[in-house]
Each structure stands twice: as C-alpha cells, then as structure tokens.
Structure 1
C-alpha cells in the first residue's frame, strides 16, 4: 500500500513533537526546576495550537484574523507575550489585495505589520510593511478601514493592540476580506502534507530559541557577573528593532531584556526613567517567554498603571510574592525567569533600567 504524503508528514510532526522536549530537559539550556519542566510541556501544546492556526488551517483567499496572544487566554501566552496586548495573525497571498476594517476600542496603540517567510514554516527575517493607527483616518466613533495592497514577500499580517487597562478596556475589532475571488478550496494530500511540514519547521525554530537562558548571579562562586550579557538581575542595553529582524518583532518598539534569580527573602528594585513614548511596559516571563498569570498575579506594569515618583521616575519591586509597593510585581514563587521592557514609538532609545538586589524586608513600600 502506498503511503500518502500527509500520512508521512503527520508522522514526521509527531516525531518532532516527541523530540522537542530535549530542548529544555538536556544540555546547556536544560531548566532546573520542576515548574519550568511542566511549563515546557505546556509551551509545546501552546505553540502547536498557534502553528496549526498559522500553517494548517488558513486560506489566504478566505482570510481570517486569529488570536495568537491575548491577556486572558492561557493557551495564547508564548513568544514574548504580555498581559497588556492582543495580537492576531492572518496569512496572506502576496498577489492579493485585502480590505481591513474595524474599531479602535480603547486601544492606546495599534498597528498591522506584514512579515516575509523565507521558506514554509521558517521564521520571518524582515518587516515588509507596517500600517500604524496614526496612518489611518479613524472617525469619531473609532471606526477605520483601509486597503492593504498586493505586496511582494508579504506572507503573514500581525495586528498589535495595546491597552492601558486590559481588564476593562475594549480591544480593537478586526475584519479582513480579500478583494479578488478566492481560489477553489484545496485540502488535498499534497497541500496538507506541506502544511504539516511547515508546522513542524516552525516549532523546531521556536524550540531552538526557548527556553531562554537565565544569567549567572554576580555573587555565585563561578559567576560571570562582570559580563552584563550573562548576569542575572540586570538588564541589557535597550535597542530599536530594525527592519531586518528575526521572528515577528515589533518595528515600532525598543526592547531591553534581563533575567532574575531570587531567593525566597529577596527582591529586585528596578528603577526606570520613562522616555516620551506612546506606550511602555515591563513584563515578567518564565524561561519560555510567557507571562505567569492572572489578575491576582500581577506580572506586568505599564505607563498607565505605574505610580510615578516625584521626579517622574518609576520604582518597581519584583519579588516572589506581591508586596505593598504600588508597583509590586510577582514571580509567583518562581526562583528564576526573564524580564522584558518594551517601549513603543519613543523619541529615542531609552536609558538602561537600573536594578538593585535587596532583602525583601528592605525593599521600598511606596513611591518617593
């Protein structure tokens, strides 16, 4: 009996899934605590769902925006998510024209970015184009509409919608339609096999990146604390995202990444001087670039929720549990993880945030 192409591709995908946990169980990137091992398997399930939405089910002639990051869906926390934003994707045909419309809701920043795809399932390495909210005519009721033209190399559209207060804010509503007649639906053996192989390729690339490393503490005996890039409880220098970039990064953003290693009785006191920008936030991640939690587990802070000091700076207290400080963030008991600052539409690259490791009992309890 001849084996179908889709049968072979399905079994290849299953084999890939069976091997990817080695990225967090073995070698230099192996995680060191049980919760992160469990998170690794949850991340396998999460990213499989995203990959199927991105590569198996779409039809560019019959487009749909599908949620890939949200503040509330636990199965859509991956790839550098945060509790302040909604992201949707829609694979597109570079030869087609599309009409995109919607309502801005309570968004403080929204955009649509087109990315390339070097090969099926390969991660983007270039921002093809971007449409920002400031480029659009938004009426008094918040409605907008625009045509996205046929764009060479555009393989996927990603929307971004940042909210000042996600629990109460109205997210952007998105609609998309193709302006040319769609091709006949083809769910055949060859097409399905190609899609499944793209799913596997995308997931292999994802787990080549995660889990993220956590720096060595300066006070560890064999630490590399003098090398900032390898030091825990520090941030790297902020940088502006270029057009040529890996993955689905935001062209309008500057980023600064760090990691933390905290004992039960310790806290990080983070000092941030916000630049002029549309939006900024700080997010606490596990080593799989996913936020921890729910409303009672505050894992991010933004320029609308942060309490300012008298000089305009922001002091943030990060510890294993919440404290009384108005800008308290929690790791939910995780001993180690990663941190990410992002700033949208800044006037310039921000200053590197300062960090001080203290005993939790000595951390500040209020703004100053």
Structure 2
C-alpha cells in the first residue's frame, strides 16, 4: 500500500525537478551563469521557507520563524532587502493569541494578517494590520497585545525595518496561543496535505520569478500600465490596496524598475522622498533577492542616504562602487531589478528620475 504522504512527497520532488525550466528555457530564461546559479539558490531557499510555513507549524503551538533577514543567506527571496527582518507564523482564525516583545532599535514595525485562498496559495487580501503606533510601548521598549479570533486570518507576517541593520537591535517577537492546543498528530493525511501546500507555494513563487528585465532603449519614455517595460527606468509608484497578490505591506508604496548596464556605465537615480516613516532603494537579482547588509552596499535608506541641498536624494548605481556617498553596487551583475518602498508616506511619491551615464561622468558628491 502506498501512503498518501509518500505520494505527496514524490509530487513535491517532481515539482522541484521541474521548476528550473522556468529560468532555463523559454521567454523568461536568464542569460548569464550567475543568474542560473541564483535560480538554484532560490529553489533551495524557497523550499526551506515553504517547509517552515506549511510542514512544521502547528497553529495551536505557534512560533515565529525567520523568512527574511539582513544577514541569513538562506533567507534571500521574494523581494527581500538589507534593512528588514520578517517573521512568519501560520495561525488558526478561530484561536486567540498574545503577541509581545521589545522594539529594539526598529524604525518601523508591524504585524500583518493575510488570508490563504486555498492550501499553499499566496494571499490575495490583507485581513488586518497592527502597527507600532497602535501599541503601548513602555520606556524600555516592551509591548504586548492580544490578537483575537479573526475570520480568514491564516498567516501573520511581522516587519521590522532598521535604520542601520549592522548596529540596530532587531525587534524581539513572542507569540502564544491563549486556547488549549489540539493533540499532536503528525499523521499521513496531515503530512500529505502539508507537503502539497508547500509544492503549491513553490510553484507560485516560480511563476513570478525570474522577473523580467526591461528592454534597453536609447530614448527616455515612461513606465506604467499603458507603456512597454523599459530598462533603466522606474514604474509609477503605487499605494498597496487591501486586495493584493502576495505579501506586500498595506501601508507601503512601491516603485519597481530594472537595469541593464555595461561595465563602464552608471545610473544616476534622483527622487524626492515624501514625509514617511521609512524608505529604501534595493538592488535585486532577477529572483527578487539582494545580498546581505554585511556583504555589499546594495541598498540605501532614508537614514543612511546623504541628501542634496534641496532635500532630494541622488543615488549612483553601477557595477562597482563609486565615490558618491549614495553609491550602490550591482556586484558586477550586468542586469537585474530595482525596488523603491516608502512606508506610511503622506502621499504617493513621484516617479524617480533616472539618467544613464558613463561611470566616469557620474556625480561624486551631493549637490
């Protein structure tokens, strides 16, 4: 007799064996050996996250598990950045929970509840959000609040953004169930269902990545819903709605772009940050991943950026570091993706301006 968990395990292995076709073949095939290697690293990373999210959790005995950090190389996926810690915890919508911790040196932190349309399917709706400004945080940084039974809440995702991830103390999170847990039973049917959910989650991730890199053009033209995607430009920023595919933050605005650079070129990116709690610009490979905060300077944020005299920010992006105080490196990747995010902005930001120049002609100081 073949057990259901055996069948599901073999289905998961078959899924893993097939997913690399998405970045090796067809219109989305990546074009350099580093991105091929990144594809396999992303497969391994997302398998680990999928098992953490679907195989091992017990909502009656909750635990927050790290899904993105500034330092763990096995947690670089899904739009990560060097400034933030994200933790995930599956929950039971009929249970009561208590969440507590210490804010550390966080510039912004929150807990968002997401739905799950079907087992392993990515969220398509923000159910609720608790921000740091909603909490009573004592003089020592401690906080505690109850999370009540919440219809459709399937997953809690924490966010903790640090002004300086190299020195900042991350938020410490604890979660406990206030109702008695069910008896532990890791049976055949439960394990099979969990493995199939993990496989669904993996297939969804690789339906999104690798991200497209725009076509390089000589003339300037805008990006948006009505125009073709061009390299070395950003799309119009947008505010995340309640109904949104994936794990985007409801209180964030985003703007995405891509780069295609020769080894002697640079992008001069200028934007005027709106009043907001936190913003950053991150360099990604085509799998929505960057390098760690201690590996290379692949992001800049509102605390680390040097301002121009008019309050705008200019960033110089090139394949190697330059003398500009807001220099970012692609680590010699010739192509990849870019992401701006702004938290709790007082309005949707204007689209960042981009100019392609020779690296030798890029600015070396603020203006």
- TM-score, normalised with respect to structure 1: 0.97
Runs of 4+ in 1 over 3 A off after TM superposition: 223-229
Q: Secondary structure at the match of 2:206?
A: helix
| Partner residue in 1 for 2:252 | 253
2:306 alignment partner in structure 1: 307
SS of 2:289's equivalent in the other structure is coil
Listed as ranges, the matches of 1:108-127 within 5 Å are 108-127=107-126
What does residue range 81-160 of structure 1 map to in structure 2 within 5 Å? 81-160=80-159
* Whole-angstrom distance in 2 between the partners of 1:199 and 1:309: 47
Q: Measure how far apart 1:219 and its partner are.
A: 3.2
Q: Distance in 2 between matches of 1:295 and 1:197?
A: 36
Given that 1:217 and 1:224 are in contact with CA atoms closer than 8 Å, whether structure 2 keeps it comes out as: no
Give the match for residue 261 of structure 2.
262
> Does residue 1:16 correspond to 2:15, yes or no?
yes
Structure 2 unpaired stretches of 5+: none
Q: Does 1:192 align with 2:191?
A: yes
Pairs within 5 Å for 1:335-354:
335-354=334-353
Please say if residues 274 and 350 of structure 1, whose CA atoms lie closer than 8 Å, have aligned partners that are also in contact: yes
State the distance in 2 between where 1:183 and 1:297 align: 46
Q: Any conservation in 1 of the 2:259–2:336 contact (CA below 8 Å)?
A: yes
Q: Is the 8 A contact 1:229 1:236 kept in 2?
A: no
Q: Aligned ranges for residues 68-87 of structure 1 at < 5 Å?
A: 68-87=67-86
Change in Cα spacing, 1:323 to 1:296, as seen in structure 2 (3 Å) is farther
Q: Does 1:243 align with 2:237?
A: no
* Unpaired segments ≥5 residues, structure 1: none
| CA pair 294-173 structure 1, distance change in 2 beyond 3 A | closer
* Partner in structure 2 of residue 298 of structure 1: 297
1:168 aligns with 2:167: yes
User: Which residue number corresponds to residue 215 of structure 2?
Assistant: 216
The alignment status of 1:50 with 2:49, answered yes or no, reads yes
SS, match of residue 230 in structure 1: coil
Other structure's SS at 1:202 match: helix
Per-residue Cα deviation, 1:53-73 (whole angstroms, up to 9, x for no partner): 000000000000000000000
CA distance in 2, matches of 1:300, 1:228: 27
Q: Deviations over 1:68-127 (max 9, x none)?
A: 000000000100000000000000000000000000000010000000000000000000
- Partner Cα distance (1:93, 1:241) in 2: 25
Indicate the residue corresponding to 1:207 in structure 2: 206
* Structure 1 residue 292: Cα displacement: 2.8
Structure 1 residue 235 displacement after superposition: 0.1
Q: Which residue number corresponds to residue 359 of structure 1?
A: 358
| Alpha-carbon distance between aligned partners in 2 of 1:169 and 1:245, rounded to the nearest angstrom | 31
**Residues 1:62 and 1:249: Cα distance change in structure 2 (over 3 Å):** same
| SS of residue paired to 2:31 | coil
